[in-house]
C-alpha cells in the first residue's frame, strides 16, 4: 500500500477525550466508533479480525470440540486481536480496544450484504464474544455485568423480591439469604431459553426472574439478537458505499474471507534460501510429496497433455515461482513440459508470457502467486481447462477419484468428511483435512491444520509447510529428489 493511500483518512467524527475510553475489554458494540483512522488501518485492522473469525468458522466446519475452539480463539486473538486486562497497566489498553471496536464495525459493512453472510458473521462474532466473556477475569466480568445488566431487563425491587423469595431460591438453587443479597432482573422468557430449558429461573406470566449471576445467558442472547438487527439496518443504510471507489474494493475482498479463509502464513517476496530453491528436475518429486491438490492436478494435466491453457499456465507458473523456481529454471521446466512442440513455436508463443509473470518484460509487474480466495472466486474452468480449485470445481466422483489417485486417500470416513466440507462450500476446510491426513506420519493430528490449528488459505502455504515438515526428518530429504528424478 503506497504512502499516499495510507495517509488518507476515514472520519467517523470527533474523538472522545477521557482517561480511559474503553473501561471494559468486553464490548457489546452498541455505538459506532467516532474516530478518524487511515485507509491502511481500515484495511489491516479488518483483515486481522477476519483472520480470527474465519478460523472460528473453519473450526466449526471441522467439528472441533468447545475446548478446542476456545484454544483456537485464544491463539488467534493473541496474534491478531489482543485485548489486555485492566490489570495490565503498562499495555496500550485503549489502542487495543479501539482496534477491536472499529474492526467489528468495518466487518459489519462487509458482511451485511446477504442473509448468508449476516448469519455467518453473527454466529462467529457471538462465539468470539462468549469466549472472551468466559476468559475474562471474574472481577472484571462482574463489573461488566453490573454496567450492562440493567440494560438487559427491568430490575426487581426489594419488595417484589421479598414476596417471591422462596420461589426465587428454589428456581435459582440458592438459599433465601443469598437471594436477598443477589440482584435480579425481569426479562421476557424468550430471551433466556437456555435458562428456562435448564429450569434455573423463576417464570411468572411470561416473565423470567434472572439472578445477576445468570445474566451472561441474557447478554449472549441479546448480543446475537442486537447484531442480527444491526446488520439488517446497516445493509439498508449503506447503499452509498457502492459508489465509493476507495472502500468498496476493500469491503468486497473482506466479504470473501469466509470463502477460503484469510492467508496468514505465506508471504511472497521474501528471499529464497539457497537450500529452498526449486529446479526444473525437482518438480516431479515435489509435486508427488508436497503439492496441494490444485497444483497436483495442474502438474498431472501438464504431464499428460504436454500443455496447459493460459489460465492453467498462469496459476501453475505463479505457484512454481512462489515455491522458489527462478526464471531460468522456469524456462527449462516449461520447455521440457511442452515437449511436443518445436523450439521455434515455444520461443514465439510461450517464452514471452513466462518472462512476463516474472516481471522481466512488458509492464514489469512482479506478479504474486494466487491465493485460495483468488483461485476459488476466479474464472470457472471450462472444457479442456485445468485451473481452479478441485474442491470447488470437481464433481464428487471426480474429487473422490483425485483423492485416491494423488493422495491414496481411500478411507470411506475420511473421503466422506472431505466431501461434506465441500458440500458446505468449505473448500479450504476440505483441503486442510487432506493436509492433516497426508501428513499424519509426520505427527500432524486432526485439528492441527498447517500449524497451530490454522487452515489452508494459500497453495504455496500448503507446499511450504509440507516441505518444512520433510526437513524435520522422517521422510525423504529434498536434496535426494533431484538425484532420483
For 315-366, write each residue's pLDDT tens digit.
999 999 999 999 999 999 999 999 999 999 999 999 999 999 999 988 888 8
pTM (2 d.p.): 0.70
- Per-residue model confidence (pLDDT) at position 1: 36
pLDDT > 80? residue 105 = yes
245: Cβ contacts below 8 Å, ≥ 6 apart:
none
Contact 67, 73 (CB under 8 A): no
Residue 133 has pLDDT above 80, yes or no: yes
pLDDT tens-digit readout, 423-463: 999 999 999 999 999 999 999 998 889 988 888 989 999 99
The answer to whether residue 284 scores a pLDDT higher than 60 is: yes
Closest CA to 405 of 415, 416, 419: 415
Rounded Cα–Cα distance for residues 287 and 284 (Å): 5
The confidence score (pLDDT) of residue 6 equals 45
Cα dihedral sign for 171, 177, 179, 182? negative
Residues 117-129: tens digit of each pLDDT: 999 999 999 999 9
- Tens digits of per-residue pLDDT, 206-263? 999 988 778 777 888 889 989 999 999 999 887 666 666 677 778 887 877 666 656 5
Amino acid at each position: 500500500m503506497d504512502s499516499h493511500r495510507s495517509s488518507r483518512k476515514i472520519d467517523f467524527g470527533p474523538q472522545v477525550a477521557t482517561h480511559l475510553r474503553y473501561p471494559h475489554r468486553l464490548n457489546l458494540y452498541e455505538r459506532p466508533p467516532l474516530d478518524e483512522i487511515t485507509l491502511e488501518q481500515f484495511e489491516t485492522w479488518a483483515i486481522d479480525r477476519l483472520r480470527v473469525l474465519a478460523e472460528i468458522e473453519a473450526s466449526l466446519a471441522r467439528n472441533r470440540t468447545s475446548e478446542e475452539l476456545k484454544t483456537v480463539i485464544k491463539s488467534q486473538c493473541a496474534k491478531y486481536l489482543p485485548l489486555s486486562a485492566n490489570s495490565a497497566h503498562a499495555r496500550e489498553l485503549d489502542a487495543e480496544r479501539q482496534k477491536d471496536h472499529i474492526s467489528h464495525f468495518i466487518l459489519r459493512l462487509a458482511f451485511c450484504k446477504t442473509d448468508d453472510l449476516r448469519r455467518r458473521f453473527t454466529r462467529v462474532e457471538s462465539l468470539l464474544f462468549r469466549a472472551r466473556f468466559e476468559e475474562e477475569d471474574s472481577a472484571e466480568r462482574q463489573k461488566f455485568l453490573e454496567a450492562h445488566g440493567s440494560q438487559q431487563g427491568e430490575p426487581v425491587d426489594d419488595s417484589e423480591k421479598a414476596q417471591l423469595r422462596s420461589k426465587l431460591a428454589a428456581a435459582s438453587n440458592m438459599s433465601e439469604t443469598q437471594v436477598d443479597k443477589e440482584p435480579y432482573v425481569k426479562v421476557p422468557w424468550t430471551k433466556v431459553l437456555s435458562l428456562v430449558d435448564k429450569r434455573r429461573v423463576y417464570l411468572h406470566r411470561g416473565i423470567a426472574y434472572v439472578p445477576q449471576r445468570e445474566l451472561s445467558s441474557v447478554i449472549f442472547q441479546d448480543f446475537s439478537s442486537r447484531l442480527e438487527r444491526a446488520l439488517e439496518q446497516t445493509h439498508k443504510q449503506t447503499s452509498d458505499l457502492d459508489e465509493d471507489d476507495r472502500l468498496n474494493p476493500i469491503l468486497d475482498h473482506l466479504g470473501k474471507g469466509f470463502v477460503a479463509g484469510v492467508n496468514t502464513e505465506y508471504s511472497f517476496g521474501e528471499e529464497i534460501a539457497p537450500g529452498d530453491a526449486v529446479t526444473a528436475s525437482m518438480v516431479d518429486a515435489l509435486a508427488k510429496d508436497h503439492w496441494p491438490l490444485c497444483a497436483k492436478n495442474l502438474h498431472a494435466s501438464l504431464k499428460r497433455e504436454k500443455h496447459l491453457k493460459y489460465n492453467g499456465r498462469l496459476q501453475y507458473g505463479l505457484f512454481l515461482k512462489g515455491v522458489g523456481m527462478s526464471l531460468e529454471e522456469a524456462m527449462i521446466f516449461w520447455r521440457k513440459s511442452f515437449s511436443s512442440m518445436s523450439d521455434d513455436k515455444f520461443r514465439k508463443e510461450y517464452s514471452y508470457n513466462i518472462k512476463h509473470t516474472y516481471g522481466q518484460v512488458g509492464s514489469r509487474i512482479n506478479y504474486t502467486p494466487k491465493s485460495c480466495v483468488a483461485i476459488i472466486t476466479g474464472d470457472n474452468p471450462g472444457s479442456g481447462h485445468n485451473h481452479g480449485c478441485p474442491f470447488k470445481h470437481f464433481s464428487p466422483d471426480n474429487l473422490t477419484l483425485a483423492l485416491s489417485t494423488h493422495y491414496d486417500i481411500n478411507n470411506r470416513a475420511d473421503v466422506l468428511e472431505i466431501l461434506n466440507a465441500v458440500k458446505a462450500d468449505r473448500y479450504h476446510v476440505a483441503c486442510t483435512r487432506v493436509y492433516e491426513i497426508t501428513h499424519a506420519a509426520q505427527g500432524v493430528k486432526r485439528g492441527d491444520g498447517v500449524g497451530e490449528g490454522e487452515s489452508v488459505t494459500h497453495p504455496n502455504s500448503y507446499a511450504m509447510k509440507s516441505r518444512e515438515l520433510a526437513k524435520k526428518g522422517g521422510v525423504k530429504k529434498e536434496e535426494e529428489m533431484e538425484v532420483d528424478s
